[in-house]
Structure 1
Amino acid sequence: MKSFFSLLLVLLAQIALGQTKVSGVVLDDTGLGIPYANVLFSDSSEGTITNEEGRFYLESDQNYEAIVVSFVGFETKIVDIEKGANYNLEIVLTTEAATLNEVVIYKGKTSKKNNPAIDILRKIWENRRENGVKKFNQYEYNKYEKIEFDLNTIDSSVINSRVFNGMEFIFDQTDTNSVTGKTYLPIFLNESVSKVYGDNVENKEKEDLRGNKNSGFNSNQTLIAFIKDLYADYNVYDNYLKFFDKSFISPLSTTGINVYNYVLSDSAYIGDKWCYNIVYYPRRKGELTFKGDFWVNDSTWAIKEINLQASKSANINWVKEIYIEQEFDVLNDSTFLIKKDYFMSDFAFRKKEESRGVYGKRTTLYDNYEFDKPKGEGFYDQEVDPYNEKIYNRDDNFWEVNRLESLNKDETGVYKMLDTLKTVKAFKRLYNVGTILASGYVEFDGWDYGPIFSTFGFNEVEGVRLRGGGRTYFGQNDPWRIEGYLAYGFRDDRFKYGISGKWLLDRKLRLTVSGGNRRDIEQLGASLTNTSDVLGRSLASSAVITVGANTSLTDINLTTMALELEPAKNFQVRFGGSYRTLTSASNEFDLSYVRPGATDTVATVEQTELSTIIRYTPKRKTTGYGVERTVVNSGDFPSLFLNYSTGVKGLFGSDFDYQRLQFYYRQPFLVGGLGRLTSTFEAGKTFGEVPLGLLNVVPGNQTLFSIFGTFPLLNFYEFVTDTYVSTHIEHNFNGRLFSRIPFMQKLNWREVIGVRGVWGEISEENQALNASFSNPVLRAPDDQIYWSYSVGISNIFKVFRLDAHFRGNYFDNPDARSWGITGAFGFNF
């Protein structure tokens, strides 16, 4: 991803406005920290809750002379403070003599019976569907969103670091965060103004972007879309809140009483509404929960204000803090509408208090609500030009009028600082390193070299393989792109190459023409459904470490041409044609076939194929408006694929007539608080007689990598079919089970289970075409469904996954593996 966010990853590895600031720790009389204790400025509603170690930070623009510290079962304590900064206070609470029996509350349990807080919670459940814009047939409102990234924990060691040589001026912008008390440096700011329309009758919503501005990286839609997906919209009334691809249990959830403790803390007027204040905190460590409090109206049972702070022990990577504030306005006595939403996260490699990181902050303001104004037919389906350059270049007057909140001193300074920073050579070097790590390409003027991660490979035919390539790149909205590569195998002493080009003819319809040619060594059958990418190459083709020799490789010469369009959002249609020749690349593997009606054999398959491919990916989010787009929410949307292809005998010397129909469906599910389930279903049939090179190979996996969609215990070409049905189901519990085991809680491991199955058959006619009777022997899983299952642990050291696989049947197949181990690296929240 060519964006400034890549720079943040590198900085992570390297490295006062309020008038009253207080920080410290709250302890019991044995010296242990008290989690979730209340800390408020005296005679005010401004306060916070201690974290799991009992630590807190509190800041206000007002002058206060004392703080009030309290927790159920302990005597309330008033602590005098000085004006200005009061850091590292140590506050000891003593147990109330009259409530010694209630100290068990401190250990994480509040009663589920006769608890007034839970009685109020049940009232919220009964009335939650009656609040907000969902109460009206149609709605529209203005939306202003501000997203900021800051380096935090700025101290002398950071300021004097060699990384920032020549960039010392940026530290003039440092300030103190009002939630954590850490010093921070703003480094990125993005603002957007939108008009949002919705129709609850048709269940549709549309957001019309009116203006967008960011500090130093104008029109960077990839970064903007990535951040927006990272901080996706949510509704606190829902049972589960999705952040960073995880399902957190909402404190307002109907299952909340099983994972949260609730305490009725206070009651007061907020505006002219009498409200109750409820404090909540987790019953157990390691779960995806929050701590905080909320104010709820006593008649409508609608939330007036709510604060959520993720538990530090929550099983989520690279994020040390999550803090959320929401405020609601009263439209009338029965309707509360969201007015402000503030979301802050602290990205860091470690969760220790002193560790450095990057704050990500999103502030969203809502205004000018209007209701029950139906739009014309097709309004929500109407497509406009997706990229209007004027939107990303609004003048200062536009922002002065449309901002719903003025920028503070630090935010105003970010724009000027980034403009200056881009001229500094040291910053340019740092940005280039981040771009290479994020995109895999080295940038030059007008073209990129890469991907660098494909430079080295190995297989039995080529031996050590070196590869170099590149692509044209003038910007993320390029209307055309050419890319290619050149590779060399030291064992077969041959060069291979691939080249392709794409041209976007119509941006609105996404009408694209493409073509290319590739001559290379390939492991076919890496997936059941066909790929349309002429430069696509499976991991199995050049994996350095494999189980057994990988000799079943094909020498392929492939030429393709295609026309693609997107008549509706995320609905793609592709008309293509290809010509390919397939020859065995190894003497130990045979693709030759017996010529129909004759006895001689043919070593090379020549085939011309025409295809129509339909892809539908609802809820997919993309960025970029050029010939190539970046998928923002990869793996987080359903995917349907339908391919009808036909072989044309005689065209360009083509050998076979046939028809092939293939269907693929992938669906991810967030199963409440139980993690993520991903399922796939594939089916296909080839009508007509075809040789091995044109059959469907059940994708084996002889590598040591965990590759979704393959069968890890099958060898390459162990099963070959012309008719097949396949399924793969995998569930990641996200640590839900391990979090209940005390000695495993701190490991933050995540449990993964999976099951795979495939049934298929191959006709006698297609068997008879095969000229090889030994390597491979054509067999299909037609006696019974071949299946295997796996158990695994992910998130080992936050980046590694290990799976153990077990075969369910077909143990008599040659060289059949009954079990095996695979692993994978990845960066996941």
Structure 2
Amino acid sequence: MNYLLHSVFYRTVLLLSGLLFLISGLTRAQTTTVTGTIIDGATNQPLPFANIVFVGTTIGTTSNDRGTYTLTGNGNYDKLAISFLGYKSITKSITPGKSQQVTVRLEPDAQQLNEVVIRKGKQERYRNKNNPAVELIRNVISHKEQNQIGHYAYAAYEEYDKLQFSLSSLSTKVSDRKIFQKYKFLLNNRDTTTLPGKSLLPVYLEEKVSDAYYRKDPQKEKVIIKAKKRVDFGQYFDSNGLSLYLNRMYSKVDIYSNSIFLMTNQFLSPIATNAPLFYQYYLADTLTIGKNKLIGLNFVPRNGTDMLFEGKMYVTLDSNYAVQKINLTVNPKINLNWVRDLQIRLQFEQNTDGKYYLNKSDMLADFGLSKGGKGGGIFGQRTLSYRNYKTDEAHIDSFYDGQPQVVEADADKKPDQFWLVSRHDSLSAAESKIYTNIDSLKRMPSFRRTMEALTFLLAGYKSFGPFEMGPANTFYSFNPVEGFRLRLGGRTTPELSKRYYAETYAAYGFKDQRWKYFLSGTYSINNKTIYQFPQNYVRASFQRDTKIPGQELQFVQEDNFLLSFKRGVNDKWLYNDTWRIDYVHEFENHFSYNIGFKNWQQSPAGALQFKQPEENDSAPSHTLTTTEFSVEARWAPNEQFYQGKIYRVPIVGRYPVYTLRFTAGVKGLLNSTYNYQNLTGSISKRFYLSQLGYTNVAVQGGYIFGQVPFPLLTIHRANQTYAYQLNSYNLMNFLEFVSDHYASVNIDHSFNGFFFNKIPLFKKLKWREAISFKALYGGLRSQNDPQQNPSLYEFPTNASGVLTTYTLNKTPYIEASAGVANVLKFFRIDLVKRLNYLDHPNVSQWGIRARATFDF
């Protein structure tokens, strides 16, 4: 996740929990922590997968493949029970509320050993060859296809989906404090059963009931959401965006898939095709359920720091070799931020045809800043339940037409009685009160005041109901042309109207002593907020402001205070007067188009000049006016968004994004001085490479038809700030390269710590390695070269008369970088190398660039 998803995180989980952490006064309960090693009393070898629990509770763990364990619980526990099949169980006394070490020797039990069917010896060196556990897992892998829904021509089932978030480890004394008496209804709604040893305060809940349909040939899926219900925090959150983001974090787990996407990371499944190369397997025990005999199989990563699971599965011994049950967790040493505990439990049920289908999936994750489960945090749980499997009902082809997911018109209006009979599992006592508690909370004036303050702090806008002021990070900035710059602006909100929107700002530069301003009006054709998908609106705007040629930013205001700090010479600017009319139409299938009209007047500022070769330096600089019509088509299949206060941020997925844009300048229309056409296209896609991380690839190209001066050429994206920008050339100077035809490729790969996890120091720091490569090939036809056409403006020069703007000729511009991500869990720092065009003035061959990130 880059800076964008970093902001997404703050506007969701932190903003959601920030107030409740504040009003609840999180305190640490008394914690008992026990660490140690379980040893085989007969062989003196470590004993993996032994069970350790606090006596009288369900709080427990198992020893890892090295026999070591850590067990933590918030409570005064004084006894520890240790057991393992084939060994005598024992109980150890411990000191309540302390951290301590307890090493245990388990003695073999002859009577129990006679009952053991299969048990792997611990003294031998682990090998895949002639290993019965590996032979069993290879049978599971080879039978994967027949144990999935995709094996059938048609399939259908009903799904119940519940996602819940809670604040964990809240002191029960908080609600007794006088200052929090008004919140007692919320703070006393505790759950002490879901996560043994911890007190949970539920704050978010959403539910869905759906019918899902699958067709094999041609492959097609259809989901009809019959009912949905979720907590609504009102104006402070985009409910759709929050739901989408949380569901992405807690993705559905398909154990039969090679890779499992969780918490923005990819984990290799223990039954993936190449899983035996990364996992070790141990036969544990046998289990009989009804007439079915199952074999227990423990699995652990070969390298405890890789993005892999550890746990236990039960496999059927019939011809299916199907997984009947599996429990997954992760090693505490894994390079996973914020996650203190992760548990996934999948249960499969045998259908009438003898096959096993997923019956229930339960994912639990405990997040927090502290390690070992101590202190306050956030606990999330997603439960999916499936029933009414049918594999023989066909539907006509037209049934699968349209959107793959359809929401029934009355899905969010189902009465309470519907939910009572439709939930596959009833809500807990604490969960059943979430909806009414949050409704009561958001009506409290103190809650609204606090949320408005947090919204202004994190999102940059202060709401006044129908109007909001901001963004705050643009109130003050500075640059060489304007000097000290003040800006104040705002926009209307859907509280005023869902049809009509206005946005404006005014800014003043104390050096150039000029006012800048912006005004826009928008009409929503579909009567929905213009900040959410799908958009369908018409907008008219006028802007008078400064701009740096070649600086193109995404999701960031150009007068953001942090962008005021720049390297090198930055003295070539523009004054722009821009009139625009835009029509934007998005469709549910994520195809969209944009039709635009723009009248653009450019005047040089700072050291920039628009002059023809025969003109002397004392001649006044020209003003360039153009009038353009444009049309853009974009297709982003299955794209998802998070909608924040300032921007709608796309969430990067595995699907490509295609964009094609055509612009035509019309000479003589509204004082336009040039005829030209500009065609650009781009494709971007993320490739997931399992344990080797993921790669973002973007390819772009463009061609300008006609004769134009350099301000209308493609001015390639440059970056002279100290922040690493993904879509710019980070060691290219502003206005350094122009082209009338070009092609570029941008490759950025994150290894997610695959190599650093195997280096002792880096492993402890939890750093992650990243590399990038950018190449730009382009050129300039003779008709657009001012050295061959004196009617065109000369390329800019510096104070010494040396050219500072160039064409790419036959050599592409190339830069590469190697970066360290996850520094302090928030930053990526890149060492960037510019590989050519080093003889240009004021260029840097090397540079260090940083950017804020947020990854789990």
Tell me, yes or no, if structure 1 residue 585 matches structure 2 residue 597.
Answer: no
What is the SS of the residue equivalent to 2:430? helix
Tell me, yes or no, if structure 1 residue 810 matches structure 2 residue 821.
Answer: no
Change beyond 3 A, Cα 1:267–1:434: farther
Q: Residue 714 of structure 2 aligns with which residue?
A: 696
1:230 Cα deviation after fit = 1.7
Letter of the 1:518 partner, please give it.
Answer: Q
Deviations 1:372-428 (A, max 9, x none): 433333433425998877422321112112111111211112233223323434433
Looking at structure 1, the residues matched to 263 and 178 of structure 2 have their Cα atoms a distance apart, in angstroms, of 33
Q: Residue 151 of structure 1 aligns with which residue?
A: 167
Q: Residue 101 of structure 1 aligns with which residue?
A: none
Deviations 1:69-102 (A, max 9, x none): 2399xx55333999xx99999754227699xxxx
Looking at structure 2, the residues matched to 445 and 32 of structure 1 have their Cα atoms a distance apart, in angstroms, of 68
Which consecutive unaligned segments of at least 5 residues does structure 1 have?
16-20, 60-64, 99-103
Match of 1:138 among 134, 154, 158: 154
Looking at structure 1, the residues matched to 184 and 371 of structure 2 have their Cα atoms a distance apart, in angstroms, of 27
Tell me, yes or no, if structure 1 residue 212 matches structure 2 residue 221.
Answer: no
Letter of the 1:774 partner, please give it.
Answer: T
Looking at structure 1, the residues matched to 123 and 200 of structure 2 have their Cα atoms a distance apart, in angstroms, of 34
Match of 1:79 among 85, 91, 94: 91
- Could you tell which deviates more after superposition, 439-448 or 363-372? 439-448
1:111 Cα deviation after fit = 3.4
Match of 1:771 among 767, 771, 794: 794
Letter of the 1:137 partner, please give it.
Answer: A
1:787 Cα deviation after fit = 0.8
Deviations 1:218-264 (A, max 9, x none): 79222222212222223111221111221112122233233322211
1:33 Cα deviation after fit = 10
What is the SS of the residue equivalent to 1:585? strand
Residues 227 and 408, structure 2, Cα contact 8 Å, conserved in 1:
no
- Could you tell which deviates more after superposition, 700-709 or 204-213? 204-213
Letter of the 2:573 partner, please give it.
Answer: L
1:317 Cα deviation after fit = 1.7
Q: How does 1:163-562 map to 2 (within 5 A)?
A: 164=180, 166-179=182-195, 181-217=197-233, 220-299=239-318, 300-332=320-352, 334-382=354-402, 390-474=410-494, 478-506=498-526, 510-527=535-552, 537-538=557-558, 543-562=563-582
Deviations 1:607-639 (A, max 9, x none): 000111011112212478x99994462466422
Q: Residue 27 of structure 1 aligns with which residue?
A: 37
1:276 Cα deviation after fit = 0.8
Residues 795 and 804, structure 2, Cα contact 8 Å, conserved in 1:
yes
Change beyond 3 A, Cα 1:181–1:339: same
Looking at structure 2, the residues matched to 545 and 34 of structure 1 have their Cα atoms a distance apart, in angstroms, of 58
Looking at structure 2, the residues matched to 669 and 573 of structure 1 have their Cα atoms a distance apart, in angstroms, of 26
Change beyond 3 A, Cα 1:510–1:810: closer
Tell me, yes or no, if structure 1 residue 651 matches structure 2 residue 669.
Answer: yes
Residues 229 and 633, structure 1, Cα contact 8 Å, conserved in 2:
no
Looking at structure 1, the residues matched to 178 and 335 of structure 2 have their Cα atoms a distance apart, in angstroms, of 34
Looking at structure 2, the residues matched to 163 and 655 of structure 1 have their Cα atoms a distance apart, in angstroms, of 69
Q: How does 1:813-828 map to 2 (within 5 A)?
A: 813-828=840-855
Residues 675 and 733, structure 1, Cα contact 8 Å, conserved in 2:
yes
Looking at structure 2, the residues matched to 129 and 755 of structure 1 have their Cα atoms a distance apart, in angstroms, of 38
1:292 Cα deviation after fit = 1.3
Which consecutive unaligned segments of at least 5 residues does structure 2 have?
1-7, 110-119, 787-791
Residues 697 and 719, structure 1, Cα contact 8 Å, conserved in 2:
yes
Match of 2:70 among 50, 55, 67: 55
Looking at structure 2, the residues matched to 497 and 384 of structure 1 have their Cα atoms a distance apart, in angstroms, of 44
- Could you tell which deviates more after superposition, 316-325 or 774-783? 774-783
Change beyond 3 A, Cα 1:741–1:88: closer
Looking at structure 2, the residues matched to 307 and 807 of structure 1 have their Cα atoms a distance apart, in angstroms, of 49
Match of 1:757 among 775, 784, 788: 775
Looking at structure 2, the residues matched to 454 and 212 of structure 1 have their Cα atoms a distance apart, in angstroms, of 39
Letter of the 2:515 partner, please give it.
Answer: F
What is the SS of the residue equivalent to 1:468? strand
Q: Residue 6 of structure 1 aligns with which residue?
A: 15
1:603 Cα deviation after fit = 1.1
Letter of the 1:719 partner, please give it.
Answer: F
Q: Residue 125 of structure 1 aligns with which residue?
A: 141
Looking at structure 1, the residues matched to 484 and 178 of structure 2 have their Cα atoms a distance apart, in angstroms, of 39
Q: Residue 748 of structure 2 aligns with which residue?
A: 730
Q: Residue 564 of structure 1 aligns with which residue?
A: 584
TM, length-normalised to structure 1: 0.88
Residues 58 and 196, structure 2, Cα contact 8 Å, conserved in 1:
no
Looking at structure 2, the residues matched to 296 and 493 of structure 1 have their Cα atoms a distance apart, in angstroms, of 76
Looking at structure 2, the residues matched to 385 and 309 of structure 1 have their Cα atoms a distance apart, in angstroms, of 31
What is the SS of the residue equivalent to 1:817? coil
Tell me, yes or no, if structure 1 residue 69 matches structure 2 residue 88.
Answer: no
Change beyond 3 A, Cα 1:121–1:33: closer
Change beyond 3 A, Cα 1:47–1:277: farther
Residues 193 and 210, structure 1, Cα contact 8 Å, conserved in 2:
yes
Looking at structure 2, the residues matched to 732 and 747 of structure 1 have their Cα atoms a distance apart, in angstroms, of 17
What is the SS of the residue equivalent to 1:167? helix
Q: Residue 18 of structure 1 aligns with which residue?
A: none
1:658 Cα deviation after fit = 0.5
Deviations 1:207-226 (A, max 9, x none): 22222222354792222222
1:321 Cα deviation after fit = 1.8
Change beyond 3 A, Cα 1:108–1:525: farther
Looking at structure 1, the residues matched to 534 and 170 of structure 2 have their Cα atoms a distance apart, in angstroms, of 48
1:171 Cα deviation after fit = 3.0
Change beyond 3 A, Cα 1:415–1:268: same
Residues 6 and 437, structure 1, Cα contact 8 Å, conserved in 2:
no
Change beyond 3 A, Cα 1:179–1:170: closer
What is the SS of the residue equivalent to 2:785? helix
Percent identity between matched residues is 28
Residues 118 and 262, structure 1, Cα contact 8 Å, conserved in 2:
yes
Looking at structure 2, the residues matched to 272 and 444 of structure 1 have their Cα atoms a distance apart, in angstroms, of 67
Looking at structure 2, the residues matched to 230 and 138 of structure 1 have their Cα atoms a distance apart, in angstroms, of 30
Letter of the 1:126 partner, please give it.
Answer: S
Looking at structure 2, the residues matched to 621 and 194 of structure 1 have their Cα atoms a distance apart, in angstroms, of 20
Change beyond 3 A, Cα 1:622–1:827: closer
What is the SS of the residue equivalent to 2:746? strand
Looking at structure 2, the residues matched to 274 and 350 of structure 1 have their Cα atoms a distance apart, in angstroms, of 42
Q: Residue 611 of structure 1 aligns with which residue?
A: 630
Residues 477 and 484, structure 2, Cα contact 8 Å, conserved in 1:
yes
Residues 56 and 180, structure 1, Cα contact 8 Å, conserved in 2:
no
Residues 3 and 220, structure 1, Cα contact 8 Å, conserved in 2:
no
Deviations 1:290-329 (A, max 9, x none): 2211111111111111111122222122222221111111
Q: Residue 816 of structure 2 aligns with which residue?
A: 789
Looking at structure 2, the residues matched to 543 and 33 of structure 1 have their Cα atoms a distance apart, in angstroms, of 56
Looking at structure 2, the residues matched to 627 and 136 of structure 1 have their Cα atoms a distance apart, in angstroms, of 45
